[in-house]
Amino acid sequence: MAGPDPEKEIEGAYVVPKGWIWCTVEEVFFEIMNGTTEAQNVDGFGFPVTRIETIQKGEFDMFRVKFIDSCSQEFLDKYKYRVGDIALSHINSKEHVGKTAIYLGHPETLIHGMNLLRLRFGHTNGFPQFFYWYFQSEKFRNDVRGRVKHAVNQVSINQKNLSQIILPLPPPPEQHRIVTKLEALLAQVNRSKDHLAKVPPLIKRFRQSVLAAACSGRLTEDWRREHPDVEPARKIIEAISQRRLKQANTSTKKQKIKDIYSHREGQDSDLLPQSWEYVAIDKLCESFQYGTSKKSMPVGKIPVLRMGNIQNGEIDWNDLVYTSDVGEIEKYRLEPETVLFNRTNSPELVGKTAIYRGENPAIFAGYLIRINNYKELDSEYLNYCLNTTYTKERCLKVKTDGVSQSNINAQKLGKFEITFCPLEEQQEIVRRVDVLFKNIGSIEDHYKKANAQVDNLTQSILARALRGELVPQDPNDEPASVLLERIKQARAELKAKKKTQKRKSKTLLDFN
């Protein structure tokens, strides 16, 4: 089937240069084939088999394969990848359908697995790397997404719809020149990405260094020299203890308070500044409250904050659920400057903490604990203490592990030891940390913009390359229309050869 007029745009996106031609996937590739459905294992023995997860960032990730124990030569002939074969994810989520990778010969034997389509060139078809790069373009991905069928949690594109997607076909020598130039430019882009990838770990390390300095007293050494007469932490804790005992109206409550303050911290306060102490949180808090266990709704009067809304010490107001239950709102309504602790989550995320500052009215869900701290403990300072590496390591030590989740209950949280200092110094610490975090936040914003620009640069280079704008044309190159005719002839010859072989096989069977 002949492609559209080569001088006209396709879907308003491209105009091919002189000597190029538009054609369909079906016209370029000799074969579009589904993978094997043979039973596979994950024990690492046998022949590696590709699957959806194997395709990562345009390459085969050999740590994400399954295996077939053994197979016949006939099976290998049918499903073994050849150099230049392109695998395409035809069943996936909408953003990932159409992912591709090209097989370049490693490992020596790689089997084509299910949920991937294998696109195979003939020896006369041109240069497979050109089409591999075309498949990385947003133009191609959008063409795929426009032809998918929707299921419950995924989409798919069948062979017929894929085969009718239109591609630009340059002359073979120009394909080579484009790929050579394209890969050289993208190598530079990837080096830029590698440099940028070092930034987030540095930012994270800087934040943790700031918190470590803040919560050890190093950040405010000069402040203490200028304020030598502040009341030491030990006296503040004693005053809180006496106040709580006076407010207790039963002997049971009094005994509970005595038990809290008779507890001896395990950390050595002598390592801290003179006015500081390691203190269990329950000595500085009135109570710890679990959130609502009632089912939330997609819409309602006010949001119900969940564990997913706690991100990097702050409340993330995306992906919200809601409630309109008046009783629940009254019981669990959050007040500004409230610290929330994530008591149940995956082992690496349990213990996430964030501060609610009153941005929007909200209540909190049952996997969170509201920390009701006394006025002597600044909520911002508490939030910083609970986000230190020291506290994260404490979470890992005390968590109780279930099948897929871990838990830290209110009793364990109450015995977390934080570094405590006079309120005036806590507030000075918060002020200084906020300034430093604002500065690093500005750097992070610059990083995000640079990263987005690099990502856009990749697609920009691809678009230029695949429009024929990256390298000069050679008037001596034979036009792509000649190549297309040669492909048609080779396909016809291959079809005739297969037909002859099939007839001979049938004759031999009949003879036997």
What pLDDT score does 218 carry?
96
What pLDDT score does 506 carry?
66
- CB hemisphere CA count around 485 (13 angstroms): 5
What pLDDT score does 508 carry?
61
In 114-217, at which residue ranges do the beta strands (DSSP E only) sit? 116-120, 149-150, 155-156, 166-169
- How big is the chain, counted in residues? 512
Label residue 124 by pLDDT band (50, 70, 90): low
Same structural domain for residues 204 and 275? no
Tell me the chain's radius of gyration from C-alpha atoms: 32
Q: Which structural domain range is residue 202 located in?
A: 190-221+424-466
Same structural domain for residues 377 and 251? yes
Label residue 453 by pLDDT band (50, 70, 90): very high
Taking the C-alpha atoms of residue 103 and residue 112, their distance in angstroms, rounded to an integer, is 10
Label residue 244 by pLDDT band (50, 70, 90): very high
Q: How many structural domains are present in the chain?
A: 3
Same structural domain for residues 257 and 392? yes
| DSSP character at residue 388 | S
Report which of residues 467 and 320 the model is more confident about: 320
Same structural domain for residues 125 and 209? no
Same structural domain for residues 199 and 164? no
Residue 4 domain flag: no
Same structural domain for residues 113 and 207? no
Residue 12 domain flag: no
Query: What is the pLDDT averaged over residues 152-165?
Result: 90
Query: What is the pLDDT averaged over residues 298-317?
Result: 95
Residue-wise pLDDT tens digits, 184-231: 999 999 999 999 999 999 999 999 999 999 999 999 999 999 999 999
Give the H or E element holding residue 86.
Answer: strand 86-89
Same structural domain for residues 310 and 345? yes
What pLDDT score does 511 carry?
59
Residue 182 domain flag: no
Residue-wise pLDDT tens digits, 386-437: 999 999 999 999 999 988 899 999 999 999 999 999 999 999 999 999 999 9
Same structural domain for residues 257 and 388? yes
What pLDDT score does 386 carry?
96
User: Is the pLDDT score of 10 beyond 80?
Assistant: no
Taking the C-alpha atoms of residue 417 and residue 30, their distance in angstroms, rounded to an integer, is 68
What pLDDT score does 487 carry?
86
Residue 396, domain CATH: 3.90.220.20
Same structural domain for residues 100 and 160? yes
Report which of residues 7 and 315 the model is more confident about: 315
> If phi over 0 gives left and psi between -120 and 50 gives alpha, with beta otherwise, what is residue 154?
beta
Query: Is there a contact between 391 and 351 (Cβ–Cβ < 8 Å)?
Result: yes
Domain end position, chosen among 421, 439, 455: 421
Residue 407 domain flag: yes
* Residue in 237, 209, 215, 212 with CA at minimum distance from that of residue 425: 215
Q: Mapping DSSP to helix (H, G, I), strand (E, B) and coil, where does residue 353 land?
A: strand
Residue-wise pLDDT tens digits, 58-114: 999 999 999 998 889 999 999 999 999 999 999 988 888 999 999 999 999 999 999
H/E/C letters for each residue in 243-297? HHHHHCCCHHHHHHHHHHHHCCCCCCHHHCCCCCEEEEHHHCEEEEEECECCCCE
What pLDDT score does 362 carry?
97
> If phi over 0 gives left and psi between -120 and 50 gives alpha, with beta otherwise, what is residue 253?
alpha
User: Is the pLDDT score of 6 beyond 50?
Assistant: no
Structure tokens at 321: 């659920």
Same structural domain for residues 115 and 204? no
Mean pLDDT of the chain: 91
Residue 179 domain flag: no
Report which of residues 11 and 60 the model is more confident about: 60
Residue 260 domain flag: yes
What pLDDT score does 495 carry?
81
Query: Is there a contact between 279 and 215 (Cβ–Cβ < 8 Å)?
Result: no
Query: What is the pLDDT averaged over residues 483-497?
Result: 85
Find where tokens 């007839």 sit.
Answer: 503
Same structural domain for residues 237 and 158? no
Taking the C-alpha atoms of residue 40 and residue 110, their distance in angstroms, rounded to an integer, is 13
Q: What percent of the chain has pLDDT over 70?
A: 95
Residue 153 domain flag: yes
Find where tokens 């359908």 sit.
Answer: 97
User: Is the pLDDT score of 256 beyond 50?
Assistant: yes
Residue 252 domain flag: yes
Query: Is there a contact between 456 and 193 (Cβ–Cβ < 8 Å)?
Result: no
Same structural domain for residues 36 and 81? yes
Query: What is the pLDDT averaged over residues 348-353?
Result: 94
Structure tokens at 257: 């308070």
Q: Mapping DSSP to helix (H, G, I), strand (E, B) and coil, where does residue 363 land?
A: strand
H/E/C letters for each residue in 21-74? EEEEHHHHCCEEEECECCCCECCCCCEEECCHHHEECCEECCCCCEEECCCCHH
